[in-house]
Amino acid sequence: MCAIWRGSPPADIAETGPTRAPLQADPTDDANTGELGPVVAAGRVRLKAPETWRRQPPRSQFVLADFALPKADGHDQDGRLTVSVAGGSIDANLQRWRDQFSGGVKQGDVKEIEVGDVKLSVLDLSGTYNDQPGPFAPGVEREGYRLLAAIAPVDGQLHFIKAYGPAKTMAAHEQAFFAFLRTLEVQ
């Protein structure tokens, strides 16, 4: 189940993470209907995942959609893609993602792509990833990880599409990640 903030989040959450903008419930959102199909709905934003990605219940109340990206040969873990909505600035959130990596981080430039009328900021990072399964859970250092992430500003809110996992697994899903971004529609 996905929690929808109405107003400001509790102080203990607001102080430890990015500022979360209020998200108004939309009866057509899949988060409200319990649907776990390939279509992700977040307010007026819609995305459609490839059939090979496995939708699963979100691990966190801040995540609207959660997908397992099937592992590449030789890896023991799937990749993960999440869709969420939060506030703050684009630059601050890109830096937060950079700070989740250490050990020879590849900090590529932020690329901008346009999908319809939406300009997305896309980041590609590799190195040792601090995998933190929840807002207050301890992190697990994962060497050889890669992150592909995008921020889409729509209706004054930032929509995050964040995929990460073993580098070989993420390379196998790179084209599908960008194809997923290109399905973005604002209704």
pLDDT tens digits, the chain, 187 residues: what are they?
A: 333 323 333 333 333 333 333 333 333 444 444 557 899 998 889 999 999 999 999 988 889 999 999 999 888 889 999 999 988 999 999 998 988 888 766 666 789 999 999 999 999 999 999 988 767 788 889 999 999 999 999 999 999 999 999 999 999 999 999 999 999 999 9
CATH number at residue 142: 3.40.1000.10
d(CA 163, CA 67): 9
Count of domains forming the chain: 1
The pLDDT of residue 62 is 86
d(CA 139, CA 145): 14
d(CA 164, CA 141): 13
The pLDDT of residue 160 is 96
Helix (H) or strand (E) holding 63: strand 63-69
The pLDDT of residue 107 is 63
Look up the pTM and report it.
0.78
The pLDDT of residue 105 is 65
Residue 5 maps to a domain: no
Name every residue whose Cβ is closer than 8 Å to that of residue 24 and which is 6 or more positions away in sequence: 4, 6, 43
Among 66, 81, 146, 151, CA closest to 115:
151
Residue 18 maps to a domain: yes
Residue 6 maps to a domain: no
Residue 57 maps to a domain: yes
Q: Give the count of beta carbons closer than 10 Å to the beta carbon of residue 90.
A: 15
The pLDDT of residue 55 is 95
d(CA 103, CA 86): 28
Range of the domain at 102: 11-186
The pLDDT of residue 3 is 33
DSSP annotation of 109 reads: P
DSSP annotation of 10 reads: P
d(CA 121, CA 119): 7
Amino acid at 106: K
Q: Dihedrals φ, ψ of 95, to 5°?
A: -65, -35
